Amino acid sequence: MTPELISLDHGSGGKIAHRLTAELLLPLFDNPILSDLHDGAVLTLNGNTRVAFSTDTFTVTPLFFPGGDIGELAVNGTVNDVAMCGATPLFISLALIIEEGFPMAELTRILESINRAANAAGVTVVTGDTKVVPKGAADGLFINTSGIGLIPEDVRIGSTGAQPGDKIILSGTMADHGMTIMTQREGLTFDSAIESDSAPLNHMVAKILAASSNVHVLRDPTRGGVGTTLNEIAESSQAGIVLQESWLPMHDAVAGVCELLGFDPLYVANEGKLLAFVAAEDAEAVLAAIRSDTYGREACIIGEVTAEHPNQVVLETRIGGRRIVDMLTGEQLPRIC
């Protein structure tokens, strides 16, 4: 049954958000590019120019947090979505919705952060839009970025390409971004600092593609976390996935906060991590390529693709049990990105 009102769950990146997309948006805008449900759309222009195109809106609160701010996040988020298509991100748009009365000093600080992030990723802000709404009609600042990247001729990366035997690499620790926002919002402080992992991943993707031509899937596990993203890939590829719990990388402090607050790190957002599905014979080479990148030093193989239990993600626990990892149900944390 379709609910009558939009709830926070519809924006969670989890199961209910997925249903909104599958039941309302896809049938309406019926076309194969959108149905691909990848991080970005892959377009062919002028016969042979393949372009990745992606959009993302950022409503994170607070606007500034350890390890980043909404500006940096807005650049990296779209850069990464474009990069996950195997593209070289080149151009981004910047659209601001600002609440009347927002401090000019904060806006300036955020725009400077956007500029730094764009420079770091090597993308140019080429077009924009500014809307100001009356006090109370928005909460501070929302940012939309859209991005365009060029896909090299020989690169074919999609959501549907996972194959039995593929190794699954996670480029670093889980849950850093989500738990940072959570602790900030709750006013919690800990002895060991927790920081957002917000980072551009396009340079890492270039290294991955240089290391192997057998990369089948690239995705960044943002909203909904590693657990939800792996479920989407399992579904798109009609493949089964087995994860080893003991292989999942996490910072101790983040693991501690997750336990304390009752969050499953598999469902907590990351903003500077990717999942790569790679043919087994190239897995070590790709792992080495990822680890050679500034943002991939803690990369690990976390599992593999199996012909068994298609569409399902199964976790082999530390104590030898097996449990199904479903998509995120409900919203753990609104306004995480």
CB of residue 84 vs a second copy: minimum separation in angstroms? 12
Pick the closer one to a second copy by CB: 129 or 281.
129
Pick from 205, 171, 168: which is nearest to 52 by CA?
205
Q: Is 64 in the site for a second copy (CB under 8 A)?
A: no
SS3 assignment, position 205: helix
**Packing angle between helix 202-211 and helix 70-83, nearest 10 degrees?**
20
Residues between 147 and 176 that touch a second copy (CB under 8 A): 148, 150
Is there a contact between 287 and 274 (Cβ–Cβ < 8 Å)?
A: no
Task: Report the distance separating Cα 328 and Cα 323, nearest Å.
Answer: 15
Query: Least distance from C-beta 88 to a second copy, angstroms?
Result: 10
Query: Minimum distance between the CB of residue 16 and a second copy, rounded to whole angstroms?
Result: 10
Q: Which amino acid is at 75?
A: V
Interacting span for a second copy (CB under 8 A) from 2-10, 189-197, 267-275, 286-294: 2-10
Please, what is the minimum distance in Å from the beta carbon of residue 89 to a second copy? 12
Read off the DSSP letter of residue 12. Answer: S
Stretch of 14-22, 230-238, 289-297, 303-311 lying at the interface with a second copy (CB under 8 A) = 14-22
Dmax (CA) for the chain in angstroms is: 57
d(CA 250, CA 152): 33
Identify residues 276-335 at the interface with a second copy (CB under 8 A): 331, 334-335
CA 48 to chain centre: 28
Question: CA 86 to CA 151: how far, in whole Å?
Answer: 6
Q: Which residues contact 23 (CB under 8 A, 6 or more apart)?
A: 2
Least separation in angstroms between residue 176's CB and a second copy is 21
Nearest to 307 by CA among 246, 218, 237: 237
Which residue in the set 79, 80, 117, 146 belongs to the binding site for a second copy (CB under 8 A)?
A: 146
The residue among 64 and 91 lying less far from a second copy, judged by its C-beta, is 91
Site for a second copy in 118-137 (CB under 8 A): 118, 124-134, 136-137
- State both tokens at 236: 């798109």
Q: Which is nearer to a second copy, 29 or 247 (CB)?
A: 29
Report the residue number, 3 or 66, with the smaller CB distance to a second copy.
Answer: 3
Q: By CB under 8 A, name the one of 14, 54, 121, 270 that touches a second copy.
A: 54
Q: Which stretch binds a second copy (CB under 8 A): 106-114, 160-168, 188-196, 199-207?
A: 106-114
CA distance 218 to 207: 13
What are 185's two structure tokens? 């919002």
Among 10-18, 235-243, 283-291, 311-319, the segment contacting a second copy (CB under 8 A)? 10-18
Contact set for a second copy, span 204-243 (CB under 8 A): none
CA nearest 235: which of 304, 169, 309? 309
For a second copy, the binding residue among 14, 56, 200, 204 (CB under 8 A) is 56
Least distance CB 32 / a second copy (angstroms): 10
- Which residues does 25 contact at the CB level (< 8 Å), separation at least 6? 34
Site residue total, a second copy (CB under 8 A): 80
Query: Interface with a second copy by CB under 8 A: which range of 21-29, 159-167, 175-183, 233-241?
Result: 21-29
Stretch near a second copy under the rule CB under 8 A, chosen from 36-44, 207-215, 228-236, 314-322 = 36-44
Encoding tokens for residue 176? Answer: 């850093």
Contact 82, 40 (CB under 8 A): yes
The answer to the question of residue 110 lying near a second copy (CB under 8 A) is no
Question: Site residues for a second copy, window 66-105 (CB under 8 A)?
Answer: 90-91, 93-105
